[in-house]
Amino acid sequence: MTDKPQTRGIGMTSQRTRDRLIERLRAQGITSAAVLDAIRSVPRHLFVDEALASRAYEDTALPIGNNQTISQPYIVARMSESILRAEKHDKVLEIGTGSGYQTAILARLFKRVYSIERIRTLYEQTAKLLHKMQVANISLRCADGYKGLPHVAPFDAIIITAAPPDLPLVLLEQLAPGGCMVVPVGAHGSQKLLRLTRQGNQFKEELLDYVSFVPMLTGRG
Ligand code: SAH
């Protein structure tokens, strides 16, 4: 990532403000040094509208247009930390690129990130931003994430940042043995954040938290 003044940030986007966010995440129970480092170094203010930049290091979700939101830093940290439990960290699949913030964090934790977004305008905007920020180890697609990427599978980890009504079985099949999926499942208002770990053809399921994500929709937007 480049180190231009815009990337470093000033005032409410300065390194000090970012360090305070890291302290808050630590206090909330995030322990992975790799995840905390990634959050410290990825400039979240560049992923939101300029008018909202001063709020980028608050621990809150923010609008990114097209009725979608950039996830709350705590949730990004929690989900990233939970898939690091996977046996290998080579290939990760993200469903719901959105602003690209989670994608940029994953790019620091995995060798290669594949990310799918269904809304074309978001996909184009984010592809441009991540290119400008020189995040190189990522492949972005505009498609329906429910299908995954069978020709690239299996993945060491899969992270779903929109909520399907039920467990997405097609995607679970694209998980490598020893791999982990983190996914918010359920209707709005009563979603469970689950981690599924593949052990042979069985999946171990763990409840991580209760969350509120935008719905995972079918087809292209
Ligand atoms: N990770 C994003 C979160 C964006 S919100 C960020 O940090 O900004 C969830 C995103 O999932 C939205 O952009 C939405 O358009 C996308 N989405 C919903 N259903 C999808 C599907 N079936 N395939 C791909 N993307 C989907």
- Residue 92 Cα distances to 51, 56, 155, 203, angstroms: 32, 25, 6, 18
pLDDT of residue 4: 62
Q: Where are the alpha helices (DSSP H) in the chain?
A: 5-8, 15-27, 33-41, 73-83, 101-106, 120-132, 169-172
Binding site membership of 118 for ligand 1 (Cβ less than 6 Å): yes
What does the pLDDT read at residue 191?
96
DSSP-assigned states of every residue in 25-65: HHHTT---HHHHHHHHHS-GGGGS-GGGGGGTTSSS-EE-S
* Ligand 1 atom closest to the CA of 146, numbered from 1: 22
Asked if the structure places residue 14 within a domain, the reply is: no
CATH code at 199? 3.40.50.150
What pTM, to 2 d.p., does this model score? 0.95
d(Cα 90, Cα 37) in Å, to the nearest integer?
19
Residue 129 structural domain:
62-211
Q: Are 188 and 215 in contact (CB under 8 A)?
A: yes
Q: Is residue 1 part of a domain?
A: no
Distance from Cα 88 to the centre of ligand 1, integer Å:
25
Q: Is residue 193 part of a domain?
A: yes
Which of the residues in the chain have pLDDT under 50? 2
Look at residue 66 in the predicted model and tell me its pLDDT: 87
What per-residue confidence (pLDDT) applies to 89? 98
Kindly state whether residue 218 falls inside one of the protein's structural domains. no
Split into its structural domains, the chain has a count of: 1
Atom of ligand 1 nearest to the CA of 101: 7
pLDDT at 16 (0 to 100):
87
Ligand 1 centroid vs 11 CA: distance in angstroms?
Answer: 30
Q: Is 79 in the pocket of ligand 1 (CB under 6 A)?
A: no
Three-state DSSP at 170 gives helix
